[in-house]
Structure 1
């Protein structure tokens, strides 16, 4: 026979689990900023961001500003950090919005954690840069752990390209690291030209897809073009990877 106390213990499920605070945690969620304030904050790092871009991201469910009784949007500091995260994933990783949304959902649920980003500085022409993002030839070689001459060979072969300033962008390090690994198997800069040619052709395809949007004058259309370019570019990458894996499948036991 179960005692009355035991029945009470069995009936009491204990304290309800505390739900995870949406990401980012520990940042104010008090809606105190207008959309103009948000733009002023974000444009230090993302000079091209527009009102239309923010509204588009809201339509995609990536940020949810509070609406006042008059219908105006009000953003919190936490909203701004979510927007920074989305814009960085698009700019730095060409990540599709659906994948970004999945990552945010995982962050909200506490299944993933996002480290603090590296600081960004605004340049004289208004373009934001992270220290070390645009590298000199020597700095790129140092970060990739290769000889300077190796980077020069990639540059001469057209595998690497520089900006007008003569510096390399943030993708250059990944290219050099991959090229160095391939070089260990006897694949040198000459053989890598076909990768650049293939990438350029895929970029041409992406440009054709977004051309109708880029040709329109509205800010929302330009924002849509940027998002579409990132998503189609990622799909091209997935297609290329799948094709290469399929092609070499017969070479493996």
Structure 2
């Protein structure tokens, strides 16, 4: 009985492998290890490197979307029965970009935000319960922007890109951090009222990198948005593991 399935004792990373390269693999590896450390699961440098090599090998010769899931491993029955070793699983599928830009439905995240240091599988179970089948969501909590269902959100208003702070319960995304470090995006409290006068929204994730948002749906009204994501994409363009057609996407 795998402890990831039985007790959600698992973390994962999702990323693109393009021409044998992963954008900022060290950031993915560090986040994975932070999550596993929270469970008391130790992963050595050698194990991390073997996972890295296995992901590259599994996706060789393709532009592939890869998910690396690491769990507590196979163990006998019981919450406090540890496994002899962790389990690592790799899933690979060809990457295909969505042809239609998303229109996000604004949804309230009712529970208080939690600190998210890594991609814990259990966190996404909570997300599914909030979504109830809604794929394209933009979460707000107590009148603050949080994130999309599986991506960080960037909001452009008054000539500046912003992204919600980690204190809002935001995943420390790899692409998000690159944009902040590059000076393209500022991190801070993003009030939900900004949706009333923003010029653009974009989503970031290590699968599609940057995706503009076509519009927002709310209970009483909806609005269309323009695509101003070129500056975000430009800060990534030409880096290892980034698609050559990013600016055209």
TM-score range, shorter chain: under 0.3
Q: TM-score, normalised by structure 1?
A: 0.22
Q: Which has the higher strand share?
A: 2
Q: TM-score, normalised by structure 2?
A: 0.23
**Pair member with larger Rg:** 1
Q: Which has the higher helix share?
A: 1
